[in-house]
Each structure stands twice: as structure tokens, then as C-alpha cells.
Amino acid sequence: MAKRMAGSNAPKTAKTSEKASDTSTAPKRTRAKTAAPSMSEDDIRLRAYFLYIERGAAPGQDLDDWFEAEKALKPNA
């Protein structure tokens, strides 16, 4: 009569191989990636307004304020 092998040296049975194949076909769980909040035109407009106020409400730099607001609100990629 042959000796039985114990532990990791034991031959795989049909039940073990079925289980292995079941896990390989199972969908893999991954962490859901959350998208960075997108900046809206209203967010940019509000930030540009605050920049305008911080500058002393001097006219003529609205475009500079807008671009600075976009740059400040742009998510780091």
C-alpha cells in the first residue's frame, strides 16, 4: 500500500483544481477610482471675482484674474 503525502506535496484532487479555476474566472475586485471634482465655470468666475476684490477692485485685469482662477482651481494630475 502506498503512503499518503501530507501538506503541499499532496497531489491535487479534482475538487482543488475546480476551486482554483473558479477563482481565476471570478471578477477581480478593484478600488473604485473617484474622479477629481471638475471645476465649473461658476467656480472659476467666483475665484476670479475674489482675485479682483483682493487686487482692490481695479478694472482692466479681468482676463488675468480668470486665468489665475483657472490655474488655482486646476486639479493636480
Per-residue pLDDT of the chain (77 residues; tens, 9 = 90+): 556 655 556 556 555 555 555 556 666 666 655 555 677 999 999 999 999 999 999 999 999 999 999 999 987 64
Q: Are 69 and 48 in contact (CB under 8 A)?
A: yes
Vertex 66: Cα angle to 75 and 34 (nearest 5): 20
Range list of H helices, the chain: 14-25, 41-54, 62-73
- pLDDT at residue 71, as a whole number: 94
Give the model's pLDDT for residue 59: 93
